[in-house]
Amino acid sequence: MDEGQGASAPSATRATRRVALGISYRGTAYHGWQSQPAGVATVQGALEKALAAFAVQPVSVVCAGRTDAGVHGINQVVHLDTDLHREPFSWVRGTNTFLPPDIAVQWAMEVPMHFHARNSAEGRRYAFIVLEAPVRPALEAGQVGWVFRPLDHAAMEAAAACLIGQHDFSSFRAAQCQSPTPVKLLREIRITRCAAPRMPLAPGSPDAHMPQRSPVGAGAPRQAEPAANIYWRFDFEGQAFLHHMIRNIMGCLIAVGSGNQPPSWMQAVLDARDRDAAAPTFPPDGLYFLGPRYNEAWGLPNVTPALAWLPA
């Protein structure tokens, strides 16, 4: 992923218009955003195929930020160049006709020819949703990360604080990263505990950590319900991100939150500028590209209805 790098340039043949699109997608079934050789399913490949079917001509797009396999998009922004005149919502409905169910165009706007989906972005936003539960998720598989040990909110916030600002993030950079520099500006990490345990019992009562179900029938034994699920949301905003940077930071935050490392360890990892100093890369499940930030003068939507689906 860039988590912040772009893709191939659109064809400018006979192009007289530039159109920006907002795309939402579930990345579980795809080998990332960027087009790959025939037979490899990617979000860009599916989108360009659908656009070509609607436009009845080849269409290429530039995206605001590439995503890796399994990573989801809430408001991925792309631009394309075309000589066709279509009403904005025609691009939405027409393209969606040819897209699979897990990819959808959310909005379309004609933009000036000097707008660029990647280069005009002033920042990029991601969210990681993590389920804290004693058993792994099933219905939410692929849509949330999972930990079974309780996480320490204060410890994770203390560890994250040293990462804010402009730093050399070599310790959080994948070996295959193509960025010319490991120095990036990380503006914010916000950590939110999104849900409290269900049916809390009074402190000191028996099995206060485990809600109880009422017995059914005379003499039926009490049965313990599964422990309540807790959702954590980790929001990241930066100018741009290195390949796997967010997932590598997440691996370290989880190591601190679960008590395997002290908060001060994060500073040592950052200072080491060595990938081997950090924790293993956290799986992509639960990582969402919320979208880029543009100057308000462009008039582009910052959110889509899909954003409301995430725990907040």
Q: pLDDT tens for residues 176-235?
A: 898 999 999 999 999 999 864 343 334 444 444 444 444 444 455 555 555 578 999 999
CA 10 – CA 227 distance, rounded (Å): 51
Which tokens sit at 268?
């040592």
> Residue 115 carries which DSSP code?
-
> Residue 197 carries which DSSP code?
P
Q: What is the mean pLDDT of the chain?
A: 87
| Domains in the chain: ranges and CATH | 17-111 (3.30.70.580), 123-198+227-297 (3.30.70.660)
Reported confidence tier of residue 292, pLDDT bands at 50, 70, 90 = very high
Contact 268, 171 (CB under 8 A): no
Q: Residue 156: is its pLDDT beyond 80?
A: yes
Q: Residue 255: is its pLDDT beyond 70?
A: yes
CA 260 – CA 280 distance, rounded (Å): 13
Annotated catalytic residues are 68
The larger pLDDT score, comparing residue 35 to residue 82, is at 82
pLDDT by residue (tens digit) across 82-97?
999 999 999 999 999 9
Which tokens sit at 168?
């050399």
Q: Residue 308: is its pLDDT beyond 80?
A: no
CA 78 – CA 21 distance, rounded (Å): 5
Specify the pTM. 0.85
User: What pLDDT was estimated at residue 303?
Assistant: 80
2-16, 28-42, 217-231, 267-281: which has the minimum mean pLDDT? Answer: 2-16
The larger pLDDT score, comparing residue 242 to residue 197, is at 242
List, as own/partner pairs, every contact residues 81-87 make where C-beta atoms lie below 8 angstroms and the sequence separation is at least 24, other chains included.
Answer: 81/10, 81/11, 81/12, 81/15, 81/17, 81/18, 81/19, 81/113, 82/15, 82/16, 82/17, 82/18, 82/19, 82/55, 82/57, 83/14, 83/15, 83/16, 83/17, 84/17, 84/55, 84/57, 85/17
**Rounded to a whole number, what is the largest CA-CA distance in the chain?**
80
User: What pLDDT was estimated at residue 202?
Assistant: 43
Known binding residues for substrate are 126
Which tokens sit at 186?
């990380």
Ranges assigned E (strand) in 144-221: 145-147, 165-168, 183-193, 212-213
Which tokens sit at 64?
């605001």
Q: Residue 24: is its pLDDT beyond 90?
A: yes
Which residues face 23 on adjacent strands?
Answer: 76, 105
Known binding residues are 126
Residue at token pair 């699920």 = 229
Q: Residue 306: is its pLDDT beyond 80?
A: no
User: What pLDDT was estimated at residue 194?
Assistant: 86
For residues 304-311, average pLDDT = 77
User: What pLDDT was estimated at residue 178?
Assistant: 86
pLDDT by residue (tens digit) across 103-144?
999 999 999 999 999 999 999 999 999 999 999 999 889 999
User: What pLDDT was estimated at residue 36?
Assistant: 84
For residues 165-177, average pLDDT = 95
The larger pLDDT score, comparing residue 4 to residue 55, is at 55
